[in-house]
């Protein structure tokens, strides 16, 4: 259900106030603690941020995609680890349960995911399978009234703290492609479930990834989500929505970078004038503004299509590709505008520069988005002939 214009504006205003009053003053604390504090997580939960996309009947806010995009743009002006804290619950960690799950599964997990009482992880990537998601090797076999999982998942966001894991595994041992994959919900504490050492990363230091291992891991038969063989469809439909979310996050981060650049460039003087008066600096500001505006228009357009149930496979990939490449370019230009100060840790630019880098990699690299866009274009072209 999409909000009416006035309600959306009120909610986005509330998020903007929360960002200004609570998140921005606490963003360096995230780096010092190496995590988002429990107090801030509680405040985010109270605002409903863990359940933006989860329908009201399952305890969430039930926002439409256009509303969610507006909220994410506002939220992502602050340290991107705040968005990571809510990202999986709102996206790949709940979407599959919502679309394919049984009522019992929805009832069991969604209200607590929406309230931030449960933290979700989404387990697709493996040591030998990332971009080629259909090559998953983790296996699941039925033994009596239990599934037995074996395999390793890599770089799994929230793994160290997650309560519930959505896992894509191969249920047809004779298959080698997407048709043999199914999805499961695995609870922390399941026998044979292990969590590896927390990864040391370039950025997003308030959000944590680790391996998730399944060693003869036994889960009940009703942990299967949807039907056998639906795992790949579930993963792809979850990622479709997730890609729009990441594109919106990239726009929020880019807007923050541009604000920082304007503040700095209008104060900092060189050759007797604020650097903002120098035309080569103006060119970097103008190019950044132009590209971010273009990315925002694309994302808002695609979100409206999503809310009207129109196809967005191609458009969501276009948004993810363009918005995440754009924020990379903007971060580089803004660091340049800051000169030596941009390289120093006392300004937020170097952190944002590192944090936005992964946006071009996870939930499908830029190259994978290019392949998806071209594949869809060719398909649409063939359909017209
Ligand atoms: C911080 C972080 C958090 C993550 N969180 C999660 C998570 O929660 N759950 C999860 O399942 N995964 C997660 N991932 C994994 C992420 O989704 C993968 O890293 C990503 O999909 C790329 O896979 P890969 O690393 O195996 O790279 P590869 O697939 O090995 O790709 C390496 C390079 O080759 C290119 N390439 C591959 N195939 C092609 C092709 N056909 N044509 C052209 N170029 C190609 C890629 O674009 C890339 O540049 C996370 C990763 C990071 C860094």
Residue 86's nearest CA partner among 181, 31, 157, 190 is: 157
Per the listing, tokens 């606490």 go with: 26
**How many C-beta atoms surround the C-beta of residue 323 within 10 A?**
30
CA distance 100 to 228: 11
The pLDDT assigned to 287 comes to: 98
pLDDT tens digits for 340-363? Answer: 999 999 999 999 999 999 999 999
53 Cβ contact list (under 8 Å, min separation 6): 60, 61, 62, 63, 65, 68, 90, 91, 94, 95, 241
pLDDT surpassing 70 at residue 2: no
Reported confidence tier of residue 60, pLDDT bands at 50, 70, 90: very high
Reported confidence tier of residue 6, pLDDT bands at 50, 70, 90: confident
**Considering 68, 300, 363, 380, which one is annotated as catalytic?**
363
The pLDDT assigned to 385 comes to: 80
Reported confidence tier of residue 9, pLDDT bands at 50, 70, 90: confident
Reported confidence tier of residue 237, pLDDT bands at 50, 70, 90: confident
Looking at the CA of residue 207, tell me the nearest atom of ligand 1: 1
Which residues partner with 181 through β-bridges? 170
Best mutation site among 169, 249, 365 for ligand 1, i.e. most ligand atoms within 8 A of its Cβ? 365
Reported confidence tier of residue 147, pLDDT bands at 50, 70, 90: very high
pLDDT surpassing 60 at residue 5: yes
On average, the pLDDT of the chain sits at: 96
The pLDDT assigned to 7 comes to: 83
Tell me how far the alpha carbon of residue 234 lies from the centroid of ligand 1, in angstroms.
18
Reported confidence tier of residue 1, pLDDT bands at 50, 70, 90: low
Q: Average the pLDDT over 123-150 and give the result.
A: 96
The pLDDT assigned to 8 comes to: 78
Tell me how far the alpha carbon of residue 204 lies from the centroid of ligand 1, in angstroms.
16
pLDDT tens digits for 252-296? Answer: 999 999 999 999 999 999 999 999 999 999 999 999 999 999 999
pTM: predicted TM-score of the whole model, two decimal places: 0.96
Best mutation site among 123, 131, 133 for ligand 1, i.e. most ligand atoms within 8 A of its Cβ? 131
pLDDT surpassing 70 at residue 106: yes
Looking at the CA of residue 363, tell me the nearest atom of ligand 1: 17
Tell me how far the alpha carbon of residue 364 lies from the centroid of ligand 1, in angstroms.
6
- Pocket lined around ligand 1, Cβ cut-off 6 Å: 122-125, 130-131, 155-157, 201, 204, 209, 358, 361-363, 365, 367-368, 371
Residue 318's nearest CA partner among 350, 348, 351, 294 is: 294
Residues 147, 151, 154, 160, Cα dihedral to 10°:
50
Per the listing, tokens 């120098």 go with: 278
Q: Whose CA is nearest to atom 38 of ligand 1?
A: 131
Token pair of 332 as six digits: 């580089």
Q: Average the pLDDT over 236-243 and give the result.
A: 87
363 catalytic? Reply is yes
């Amino acid at each position: 259900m999409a909000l009416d214009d006035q309600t959306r504006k009120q909610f986005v205003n509330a998020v903007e106030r929360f960002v200004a009053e609570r998140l921005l003053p606490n963003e360096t604390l995230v780096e010092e603690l190496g995590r988002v504090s429990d107090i801030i997580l509680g405040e985010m939960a109270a605002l409903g941020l863990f359940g933006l996309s989860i329908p009201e009947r399952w305890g969430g806010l039930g926002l439409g995609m256009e509303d969610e995009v507006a909220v994410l743009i506002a939220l992502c002006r602050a340290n991107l680890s705040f968005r990571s804290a809510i990202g999986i619950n709102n996206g790949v960690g709940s979407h599959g349960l919502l679309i394919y799950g049984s009522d019992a599964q929805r009832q069991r997990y969604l209200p607590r995911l929406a309230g931030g009482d449960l933290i979700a992880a989404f387990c697709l990537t493996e040591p030998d399978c990332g971009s080629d998601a259909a090559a998953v090797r983790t296996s699941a076999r039925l033994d009596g009234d239990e599934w037995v999982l074996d395999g390793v998942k890599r770089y799994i966001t929230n793994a160290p703290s997650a309560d519930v894991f959505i896992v894509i595994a191969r249920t047809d041992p004779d298959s080698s492609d997407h048709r043999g994959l199914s999805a499961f919900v695995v609870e922390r504490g399941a026998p044979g479930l292990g969590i590896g050492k927390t990864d040391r990363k370039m950025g997003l230091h308030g959000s944590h990834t680790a391996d998730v291992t399944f060693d003869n891991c036994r889960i009940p038969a009703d942990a299967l989500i949807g039907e056998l063989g639906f795992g790949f469809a579930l993963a792809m439909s979850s990622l479709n929505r997730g890609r729009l979310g990441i594109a919106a996050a990239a726009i929020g981060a880019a807007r923050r970078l541009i604000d920082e650049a304007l503040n700095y460039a209008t104060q900092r003087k060189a050759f007797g004038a604020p650097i903002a008066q120098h035309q080569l600096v103006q060119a970097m500001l103008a190019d950044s503004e132009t590209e971010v505006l273009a990315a925002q228009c694309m994302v808002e357009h695609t979100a409206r299509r999503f809310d009207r149930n129109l196809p967005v496979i191609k458009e969501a990939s276009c948004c993810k590709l363009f918005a995440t490449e754009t924020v990379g370019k903007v971060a580089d230009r803004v660091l340049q505008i800051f000169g030596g100060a941009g390289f120093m840790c006392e300004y937020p630019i170097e952190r944002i520069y590192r944090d936005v880098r992964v946006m071009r990699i996870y939930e499908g690299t830029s190259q994978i988005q290019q392949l998806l866009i071209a594949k869809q274009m060719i398909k649409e072209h063939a359909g017209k002939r």
